[in-house]
Amino acid sequence: MPFQGLDYLELDSLYTEEEIMVRDSVRDFVEAEIVPIIEEHYQNATQPDNIAGKLADLGIFGIKTSPDYGGAGANYTTYGLAMQELERGDSGVRSFASVQNSLVMYPIEQYASEEVKKKWLPKMCKGEAIGCFGLTEPDHGSNPGGMLTNAKKIDGGYLLNGAKMWITNGSIADAAVVWAKLEGRITGFVVEKGMKGFTAPEMKNKHSLRASITSELVFEDVEIPEQNRLNIDGLRGPLSCLSQARFGIAYGALGAAMQMYDSSLSYSKSRIQFDKPIAGFQMVQEKLVWMLNEISKGQLLAWRVGRLFEEGKAKPEHISMAKRNNVKVALEAARKAREIHGANGILSEYPIMRHANNLESVYTYEGTHDIHTLILGADITGIQAFK
């Protein structure tokens, strides 16, 4: 039976007709194009065929980008609901779209020269160009300020050296938004595929996000033209991008949780033990109610942060709360769903283990659970616990 959604608190009344229309169109796409094939791609560690073109045709790329550059100019809530439905299909598919939108197109639109905007944004909206985002390094994840990648001013531009790691879309990207230190200050550059000294070897043997491409980025005396430098200095540049992406994750993780709840409810009604469906047992009902309860609270949290974004009131700490809570809920939902499915929960016939493995990465990337805890802790106490 096709997925009907999960709206126990009748939250659809909080959304506009346009927001619901976009959500439902992405939901239908996921049901028709992703759900039937994603397990095979996960097992084979391959990205779904022509996924970029299909997402572009759906209007996912550039969903928040200005129409001046070929985007839809939609609001944050619309973007969040789209990410929710994509991650219901698979975290790797949502990651692909999230990186393109929030980590590449957003900084280009906000900080790049008009020349760079016109060169890349229309192509990216159409899926004709793919982007990636280079911040994390082999030895600097939660502490991006310690990055070693550096840029040096030369005639007509900059010379870039260093390496980045855990980069979604890296080896297929046509352009990379890369953060480096220039005279001790962090700034961003648009590095283009084919620039001499720029390579992006793919990372293999993952147990998570297997239907998504993850790569390293290596820069060896890469010459970057002056116009490819972003007009932003300091950590606020990359962190502003991460705020966009973290919001999408807060909605996206709920999609994964919804899929596992839906599978668990259906399975528990059909699985017979001791002459009755296991849905009739108290312990199973407790797990189902926990999932319903926490997903519903997560929906309210994501909705509120989206509206704060649209009102210009969203703080990074609000986004940390939503990302932290909703990914944790989804990961715990995976465990409870696995218990409900019993031994069958490890089979590819059900989405449980795939979502569980994917969510282990989502729990860690773009700010680990612990880092978001400390961000919130510092905000409410006024005491910085990072150092």
**Catalytic residue annotation:** 366
CA distance 286 to 281: 9
Quick one: which of 122, 189, 125, 116 has its CA closest to 151?
Answer: 189
192 phi and psi angles, rounded to 5 deg: -105, 145
* Residue 295 DSSP class: H
Bridge partner list, 276: 273
In single-letter form, the type of residue at position 30 comes to V
CA distance 318 to 26: 26
* HSE-CB of 298 using CA atoms within 13 angstroms: 34
Q: Are 264 and 288 in contact (CB under 8 A)?
A: yes
- Residue found under tokens 């409810």: 265
What separation in angstroms does the CA of 384 have from each of 49, 238, 373, 375, 376? 46, 20, 12, 8, 10
Quick one: which of 280, 287, 227 has its CA closest to 260?
Answer: 287
Alpha helices in the chain (DSSP H): 17-29, 38-44, 51-58, 76-89, 91-98, 106-111, 114-125, 236-270, 282-310, 316-341, 352-364, 369-381
CA distance 95 to 352: 18
CA distance 144 to 147: 5
CA distance 29 to 195: 36
Q: Are 309 and 248 in contact (CB under 8 A)?
A: no
Q: Are 87 and 65 in contact (CB under 8 A)?
A: no
Q: How far is CA 261 from the centre of its chain?
A: 21
In single-letter form, the type of residue at position 140 comes to H
What is the distance in angstroms between the CA of the first residue and the CA of the last residue of the chain? 51
